Structure 1
Amino acid sequence: MSGTDGGGAGGTDGGDGSGGCGNDGPGTHAGPADGALAVARGEGRATLEAQLSAMDEVDAKALSVFRLNVALVGVLLSALSVAAASGAVDVGGLLTPVVGAATLLFGLSAAAAGLTYVAVGRRVGVAPAGLRAAVDADASAFRRRLVEGYADWIRANERANDRKALLVSLSVLGTVAGTLALVVGVVGALAGTLLVPAAVAALVTVGLAVLFDLPGQVRRITGPTDGSDDPGEGTVAPRAVDDALDGQRAGPGRDPDG
């Protein structure tokens, strides 16, 4: 009895290509339902791994944006300090509300990037309790619970990914808006006009918000998942089926549906 589903009877969990033809236990033969469960389990594992990979990429982008914002604020403060010490530039003329708004946007962008990295946890697979439950479980019943567990973990990760995507989009948009505001502030201080550069900066910011589909991202977070029309469908707990296996939670943030 090798390649067991959960360490119990000899059905295969990882051998999805077997089509469920392995033995589920003494005197028990896997039927078509077991083959379907094996295929569903393989598809669920592939989907879960793709979700985790996507969230890792979002985390990496958020970390890069966080570092960029910290660097920009550091360079800005250093430049103002050097200019004030040298007396070559009237620093008081540069410290306008627009430049202050730019600095605030850099800070908010860094905060959004940090939240992207730490705010939401994820489900990565079977929790230890689920593995222990497999020891004395029937192989076919455990496959069914495993597939139901994958459905719940995928939904939870979908919610987490939507939240991370919105936060990193806001972070990138904040960095761009802060940079534009800084340019507008400098141009206003040197040229004495704010209207035209401010209008251009506002148009660029709004255009990026539309390009990022921020309204659609907000709707995905507040609306249903799985294409359901039920407004409450997307806010159920990660474990939607009582008999589903518990998922192993990873990451410093709270539960995706908490």
Structure 2
Amino acid sequence: MTAKVVLITGASSGIGLATAELLHEAGFIVYGTSRRTSDAAQYKFHLIELDVNKDDSVAQAIEKVIKNEGRIDVLINNAGFAIAPAGAEESSMQQAQAIFDTNFFGAVRMTRAVLPAMRQQASGLILNISSILGLLPTPFGALYSASKHALEGYSESLDHELRSQGIRVSLIEPAYTKTSLGINLLEADAKVTVYDHIRENLHQQMIKSIQQSDEPRVVANTILTVINSRNILPRYTAGKTAKHLKNLRKFAPVKIFDKLIQRSLKI
């Protein structure tokens, strides 16, 4: 059989890089994307330029892959960013929109651009990298969580729409992962002094949690398993922590779960 062609956004580091490397090792034809490709030669897979916030950039990247390979079998929407712990009101409307532009609308833009090709070949898989925070409430991370909640609703609806055309859509939900996403966080741009103490405490908790979290390869392994699956499910957790939190959310009584959130964050 011909090797599947995979396109991964945000593949120059973190989960995207680990996934691109693993899929390349597994024999897939892998195209990773980044906004900067000056060091593309150092990667084992194809690294091409793409900005998920720009229609022209998305169209050109997808056209390039199809021109080279004739098809795209798997799209992995991984590009995204987060801000450091902060109150929901501590981000300006411009910053709030920027989060959604990349985390949600970037995935929507990529999906819309790749669907005509997948529809023509009557097959395809779209994997959206969400987060366990797309299921759980996270105080002082409201905008990031909201962008992932939006991605989850979009993905599940889209999966129902596309099944009859041979295309599936699924979600990957990791917990904290050892990536630069959690280290090189943007600061809130409209800080309120009342949150100063809790903001700093939560930032230190986050850094500690990330240092003790799964390597990106754990998420990459989950993605490989999903791609190789015959029966695609709507969502998959990646790693033990994500699975544990998902089960807590599902089975713990609301009041108990609410207290656990408050107690764990010391707020």
Q: TM-score range by the shorter chain?
A: under 0.3
Q: Return the TM-score normalized by structure 1.
A: 0.23
Q: Return the TM-score normalized by structure 2.
A: 0.23
Higher strand share: 2
Higher helix share: 1
Higher alpha-carbon Rg = 1
Higher relative contact order (CA 8 A, sep 6+): 1
